[in-house]
Structure 1
Amino acid sequence: MDDLIHQALYFSTNEGFDSLYPDRFRRLSKRHWTPLGVARKAAHFLSSAPAGNKILDIGSGVGKFCLVGGHYFRDRHFYGVEQRPELVRQAEAVRQFTGRDNVTFIHANVTDLDLAAYDHFYFYNAFFENLVEESDRIDNRLDYSEGLYNQYAGYVYRALETKPAGTRLVTFHSLLDEIPPGYRMVYNTMSLLLRCWIKEE
């Protein structure tokens, strides 16, 4: 019964899902959190891989992608890594409220995480804040610079480069700096803003 109620109240519209968060985070949703429809499409593609059930959201924010993925694809485990502790706390609170046991949130900088431990990846341009004006950022509690953008993108690039053939990746609003050769785009929509990739070599 809880699943039916949660589906009706929270997993049917962006407004419903965003109502799970305090106003401050709700106001950030349109610019910074994955839209519900995009999250479901991305999670479906990543969950459809014939092997590997550990899916990582790089820069998971308040956890929207992981929570949507975990709701619809119960046989996969969704992980989110996020360096802002406040966002991790919000994500974990909603995880507990919705009862998603197949979702885990990790408070860490992505460069401190071993990406070899995960099978498939979702990336909503988490590093772009390093390239934009102050008004376009979530907050000003972190250091920002083009150098950090290059460092983070390079770290993900090198990690993806070592993954085996069959690894799946979904990017949303990405500049594609984190994608090494060998990943073939197999699907795109929304004027190329959402792209799905599979590693072939």
Structure 2
Amino acid sequence: MAVSAAGLRAESGRLRALGWSYRGIALEWQRRYRLNARVAFRLAHGWTQEEAARRWNARWSGEGPPKTGKSFSYWEIWPGRGGRAPSTRTLARLAELYLCRPGDLLDGEDFGRRDTGRDELSGQPGRAAVPAIVGDDHSDCGRSRGGGRCVEHEADVGDCVDRADSCPEPAAPVIPAPRAGGLAASEAVR
């Protein structure tokens, strides 16, 4: 489906009003419309290339030559023909403008999906939840699931947290949903 930049900028305003993060919007548009990450984040903010350049120049005035919309164009079409690779400093500054991580602005496969470990935190600082199959020492935790029980045991705490709905496979990443009463991403961006 063809989509215009002006249409996406307008849609961004509607999604933000529903409580979507810029990151959630950009990730959805990358998936749905196959947008370059740098384009998706700029459009999620509702900015043209010239507007992004004005914001860059206001933020880092006097630090190097002023940026133009053409500068953003070069970065956005990279690695395509005629594009220019943004330096790590440029990526960090773009990330600051777009309120994301520098790595969010790079395209390509997420090889972290191949990692069978979990990134979830237990909710307490410095303590990651450690997945474990329930054994004799935690027989009172968890529910039956496929013949075995599965819980997470939080290291250094001794508490078991029932995670039967995510066992044995780690949960797939979820696109952030809008606040209650809002449209789902698939309905909101058409």
TM range (shorter): under 0.3
Q: Whose radius of gyration is greater, 1 or 2?
A: 2
Q: Output the TM-score relative to the length of structure 2.
A: 0.27
Q: Output the TM-score relative to the length of structure 1.
A: 0.26
Task: Kindly indicate which of the two structures has a greater share of residues assigned to strand.
Answer: 1
